[in-house]
Structure 1
Amino acid sequence: MILVENKSKNPAYNHALEEYLLSTGEDVFILWQNEPTVLVGRNQNVYKEVDIEYCNDKGIHIVRRLSGGGTIYTDLENMQYTFITREQEGDSFKYFAAPIINALKKLNINAEFTGRNDMVIDGRKFSGNAQYHQGNRVLHHGTILFSVDMYNLQNCLTPNKKKFEGKNVSSVKSRVGFLKEYTDKTIQEFMDVLEEEICKEYGIIERYDPKDIEEQVLKIQKERFESKEWNFGQNPKFSVDIIEKHPFGLVEYGINVSKGRIKEIKINGDFFGRKNISGLEDLLRGQLFEIKEITNVLSQIDINDYIQGAQKEDIINDLFQEGEV
């Protein structure tokens, strides 16, 4: 494994760098930062998750990630980390969180992994993680909240209230943890020590300056992460709108039906998946919007490839609730 020394604070460049490094076959670790940015999960509807006007007024970037999961706010008061390696067996989220947790313990910060993709300290979340899969490779990245601009965090995101059903929380501030409360170090000092501990754990001795691949990275930055089509997509109107919360995430279905068949379908949410959700949408488009027909289609695939943790029965129950269609 090599350490990539990325000094860029531009979110479009940073995510383009991740994508390029994923294609090289090298095992890498990166500890980096973004300017104030809203990072949108690959499968989410930016128009529903983000106060776009607020972000524009405040000069906050809006960039869609390659990975699934939820929409988050990041800035220079916190940091991101990335592992790019071969696929891991078992709970890969927990696998990649472990070296971060181990490093924090050496700094006398007792963190733990919880749920499907979070790290917490004293019951408060300080890190959310997401993944993108390509062949037998995985890009795992997460945010580490050293601190954050709480005003921006509370005003730039507009999450669906259904996401928090069943959670005993009174405010964003009450459920978020900041590592600065557990150390007297500055954020840069903290990043330097964290990077050093990760390098020790993996025996990393090689450091790499990405300036040698800047041309390739800038091409990806321009074509994808600075593209309005990629970052914002479309916001079509649907005749059927269904939103359901599951242990594996929030799933939203937008469907237009014509003459009994699915004319158009869009599936959004903060779920994860190894395959692009558009593949599932393509399979459903044109099918009769009936339980038997959709059950037959879903029986021919592994739904877990598209929505990690889901069973076909979950999708059927979502789509054919009494009174919905």
Structure 2
Amino acid sequence: MNKWRLIDTGILSAAENISWDQAFLSAQASSGGSPILRFLQFYPPCILIGRHQSPHQEARISFIKLNNFHLNRRITGGGAIFFDPSQLGWEVIATRKEKWAKISFEKFYKLISAGFIEGLRQLGVDAKYRPRNDIEVDGRKISGTGGSSEEHAFLFQGTLLIRNCAEDMLRSLRVPAEKLGRHGLESLKERVVFLEELLSPLPDIEYIKKAIIKGFEKIFDVKVEADAPNKLEKDIFNKLLPYYSSNKWIYKINRPENKKGTIIGISRNKGVLRSAIRVDSNKKRISSVQFWGDFFIEPQRAIYDLEALLKHRTTNREKIRKIILNYLNGSNVKLIGLKYNNFIESIESAILKIPLIKQGFSFDEINRLFFININPDDWINFPFSHFLFPYCSKLVGCKYRHRHTCPMCGLCSVGEGYSIAKEVGLEPFTITSFEALVRAHRRLRKKGSMGYIGSCCEEFYIKHFRTFKNSGLKIILVKVDSTTCYDLSQSKAAYRGDFESQTELDINLIRKVLRVWKNNKKSEEHNG
């Protein structure tokens, strides 16, 4: 019977745990050895963002600092997670030379998850694998998984939610709309489950670990024996710890959209991909590209190789498309959450915004505009018919907040927006829920309208990316200012039209967009 090493590193800081992750992975890549089953825990509580994510977009930095939590970046992809000492991390580190590892990417994820699932069943918990990377009990997530690789070695890791830490989790993370809904804690209970809810009395942590060990032993037909890090692993750990403790690592990807001369593009599949291109608009060249989002990619270096390939390239979209596809196909890149075309769509959406510079928009303004089914080079000539406003920007308590109309009383930014829209001949209309948006799209198509200008938050746009894309309408959206329902964990309430807080329209940018559009319209009429 083959043997695996059991390494329990106990309770460590985020930086220490991440350093051990890379140390074990690198040691496997350089010298191989028996597969490792590792257990890990975290203290102080921490937020771990995915390898390709931006801290400020995923975590509430002020709350983290106020509570002396730690923040770090995983070496694996995927979304941000919260860890406190009650939760248990588990990992399998080995090489693809193992017989059982010589399978497809998807089967590989499912197989390793099966070891953990069997461990939960040893405890009496009927868990199941849910693609793309979750383990659930009766439809509620109890473990998330992800992986990383280096040469022929891999690290596959997962979490186990044991004690309820939902409140700190919600306060620490900028939870994406698609993973959270109404009233925060209530919604989280609908989506995740903690082991203490399933087992009474709750076994102690050592008993839980033993069950997981038995699960892996059964599924992989191996003997898991206690061990400690060897000299090579310790040496790598000591070398890496300063780097994985540094801001250089933690803030490696940090608000690329704030850099001068940078334009952001977005694409969505199951995961979200953003691209930031630094451009020289006069020379029509891209000086650099950065991709980030909540997805998994193998090999990990593929992102950096692709970014390097796209440096100092022409903004010709067909050439960019060929570079991306040739690299991804030729390198046999594996993705979870995205498809190859998302890289093309993301970067093309950024390139298409370049003409806005000559139209008089700053880079910051450009990144606050979303164009759907319309080329930013042509929008100023387009016959838009309406301006759609979000109800959440109306005054809380106003009797018109959940109506399609507005008296333009001047007490909120929507009234001013209505006035500006009417001045340029657009019919203003308030969207009171997601269903109302779908009905509005249907009604506009029926009336023969070809498109509209509107306003919403970035989170709403991303969540309903395909709804906008498949509307059959040409749309421009101006990003909403201030705190949104997604920041306040009330996206499901917003979906129904029950969000009870107030956002602010970016009136200055709305005014500028409509002025540019109106002036071009006047110019065309004059020339005609």
Same fold (TM over 0.5): yes
Contact 1:263/1:285 (CA < 8 Å) preserved in 2? yes
Query: Could you report, residue by residue, the CA deviation over 1:223-252 in whole angstroms, capped at 9, with x for unpaired residues?
Result: 2x10110011243325422222213x1111
C-alpha distance in 2, partners of 1:205/1:298?
43
Whether 1:210 aligns to 2:229 is: yes
Q: Give 1:205 shift.
A: 4.4
C-alpha distance in 1, partners of 2:229/2:193?
32
Contact 1:77/1:187 (CA < 8 Å) preserved in 2? no
Partner of 2:327: 301
SS of structure 2 residue aligned to 1:33: strand
Query: 1:164-183 maps to which residues of 2 (within 5 A)?
Result: 164=179, 171-183=187-199
Q: Give 1:40 shift.
A: 1.0
Q: Give 1:153 shift.
A: 0.2
SS of structure 2 residue aligned to 1:197: helix
Amino acid at match of 1:228: N
SS of structure 2 residue aligned to 1:265: strand
* Number of residue equivalences: 321
C-alpha distance in 1, partners of 2:196/2:132?
25
Partner of 2:344: 316
Query: Could you report, residue by residue, the CA deviation over 1:145-185 in whole angstroms, capped at 9, with x for unpaired residues?
Result: 11242221001111444x55999x97223211111112123
Contact 1:146/1:187 (CA < 8 Å) preserved in 2? no
SS of structure 2 residue aligned to 1:301: helix
Higher relative contact order (CA 8 A, sep 6+): 1
Q: Give 1:189 shift.
A: 4.2
Query: In structure 2, do the counterparts of structure 1 residues 301 and 308 end up closer, same or farther at CA, with 3 Å as the change threshold?
Result: farther
Whether 1:263 aligns to 2:287 is: yes
Q: Which runs of 5+ in 1 are unaligned?
A: none
SS of structure 2 residue aligned to 1:185: coil
Partner of 1:120: 136
Aligned mate of 1:16, from 9, 15, 19 = 19
C-alpha distance in 1, partners of 2:167/2:180?
23
C-alpha distance in 1, partners of 2:236/2:318?
48
Query: In structure 2, do the counterparts of structure 1 residues 185 and 160 end up closer, same or farther at CA, with 3 Å as the change threshold?
Result: closer
C-alpha distance in 1, partners of 2:175/2:321?
30
Partner of 1:5: 8
Partner of 1:74: 83
Whether 1:130 aligns to 2:142 is: no
Query: In structure 2, do the counterparts of structure 1 residues 48 and 324 end up closer, same or farther at CA, with 3 Å as the change threshold?
Result: farther
C-alpha distance in 1, partners of 2:181/2:87?
28
Q: Which runs of 5+ in 2 are unaligned?
A: 350-373, 378-528
Query: In structure 2, do the counterparts of structure 1 residues 240 and 160 end up closer, same or farther at CA, with 3 Å as the change threshold?
Result: farther
Partner of 1:191: 208
SS of structure 1 residue aligned to 2:132: coil
Query: In structure 2, do the counterparts of structure 1 residues 148 and 215 end up closer, same or farther at CA, with 3 Å as the change threshold?
Result: farther
C-alpha distance in 1, partners of 2:122/2:191?
24
C-alpha distance in 2, partners of 1:194/1:39?
26
Q: Give 1:29 shift.
A: 0.2
Q: What percentage of residue pairs aligned between the two structures are identical?
A: 24
Aligned mate of 2:263, from 229, 237, 240 = 240
C-alpha distance in 1, partners of 2:118/2:334?
31
Aligned mate of 1:44, from 53, 57, 65 = 53
Out of 79-88 and 198-207, give the one that drifted further: 198-207
Amino acid at match of 1:302: L
C-alpha distance in 1, partners of 2:147/2:54?
18
Query: Could you report, residue by residue, the CA deviation over 1:54-94 in whole angstroms, capped at 9, with x for unpaired residues?
Result: 11111111111111111100111211000011232122211
Partner of 2:174: 158
Query: In structure 2, do the counterparts of structure 1 residues 227 and 107 end up closer, same or farther at CA, with 3 Å as the change threshold?
Result: same
Partner of 1:94: 110
Contact 1:31/1:195 (CA < 8 Å) preserved in 2? no
Partner of 1:252: 274
C-alpha distance in 2, partners of 1:142/1:56?
26
Larger radius of gyration between Structure 1 and Structure 2: 2
Query: In structure 2, do the counterparts of structure 1 residues 195 and 109 end up closer, same or farther at CA, with 3 Å as the change threshold?
Result: closer
Contact 2:267/2:345 (CA < 8 Å) preserved in 1? no
Partner of 2:68: 59
Contact 1:78/1:187 (CA < 8 Å) preserved in 2? no
SS of structure 1 residue aligned to 2:210: helix
Out of 312-321 and 277-286, give the one that drifted further: 312-321
Q: Give 1:264 shift.
A: 2.6
C-alpha distance in 2, partners of 1:133/1:71?
19
Name the TM-score, length of structure 1 as normaliser. Answer: 0.89
Contact 2:52/2:294 (CA < 8 Å) preserved in 1? yes
C-alpha distance in 2, partners of 1:208/1:316?
46
Q: Give 1:199 shift.
A: 5.8
Partner of 1:29: 37
Whether 1:274 aligns to 2:298 is: yes
SS of structure 2 residue aligned to 1:73: strand
Amino acid at match of 1:31: F
